[in-house]
């Protein structure tokens, strides 16, 4: 009976660890979006390797909740982080909505005008949901250091305190 209890505890620990997805301070599994999987708006492939070299913010967005973290987007825009050290990405979870792809793409072109330094990418098959265990049908915000390691993550709406923390960790990394 004692061994069964230990085995069950180990299984639970392994399950929780496997479920955790991206771990703070770790570099996530490399992902490439190209062709039927997605990519940049101009149809070029996108790779998570693009995070390396600069501090990066990633918004992984279901189009149905695209405005959920506008406060965070605006706060980051106001910071005017130096583009030689900082970049931002918006990856759209195209499979999370009923909206047709052409309508989403049109909307993305409008967003690009509002946030011209943000790199927009499409994920047609929920690749980041599956590989990194991001929250599906949601608006997720992540930040990575210049080595591609996760330094911030919040699934869902960022509250003012979350936004302050995001900006703080970005500033700390920019100063390194």
Q: Which two tokens stand for residue 11?
A: 């299984």
> Per-residue pLDDT for 2 more than 70?
no
Residue 3's pLDDT is what?
45
Is 75 among the domain residues?
yes
Is 121 among the domain residues?
yes
Instruction: Specify the CATH number for the domain of residue 117.
Output: 3.40.30.10
Is 154 among the domain residues?
yes
pLDDT tens digits for range 137-155: 999 999 999 999 999 999 9
> What pTM was estimated for this model as a whole?
0.86
Is 86 among the domain residues?
yes
Residue 106's pLDDT is what?
86
Alpha helices per DSSP H over the chain: 2-19, 70-79, 101-114, 127-132, 160-174
The number of distinct structural domains making up the chain is 1
> Per-residue pLDDT for 5 more than 70?
no
Under the banding of pLDDT at 50, 70 and 90, the label for residue 11 is very low
Residue 114's pLDDT is what?
85
Is 17 among the domain residues?
no
Domain containing residue 107: 25-174
> Per-residue pLDDT for 135 more than 70?
yes
Is 85 among the domain residues?
yes
Is 152 among the domain residues?
yes
């Amino acid at each position: 009976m004692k061994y069964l209890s230990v085995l069950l505890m180990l299984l639970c620990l392994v399950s929780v660890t496997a479920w955790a997805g991206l771990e703070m301070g770790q570099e996530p599994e490399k992902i490439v979006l190209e062709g039927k999987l997605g990519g940049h708006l101009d149809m070029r492939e996108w790779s998570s390797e693009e995070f390396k070299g600069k501090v990066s913010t990633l918004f992984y967005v279901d189009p149905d909740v695209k405005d959920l973290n506008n406060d965070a987007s605006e706060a980051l825009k106001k910071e005017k982080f130096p583009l030689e050290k900082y970049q931002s990405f918006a990856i759209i979870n195209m499979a999370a909505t009923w909206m047709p792809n052409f309508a989403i793409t049109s909307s993305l072109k409008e967003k690009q005008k509002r946030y011209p330094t943000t790199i927009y990418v499409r994920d047609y098959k929920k690749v980041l949901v599956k590989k990194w265990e991001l929250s599906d049908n949601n608006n997720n915000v992540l930040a990575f250091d210049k080595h591609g390691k996760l330094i911030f993550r919040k699934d869902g709406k960022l509250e003012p305190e979350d936004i302050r923390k995001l900006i703080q960790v970005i500033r700390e990394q920019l100063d390194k």
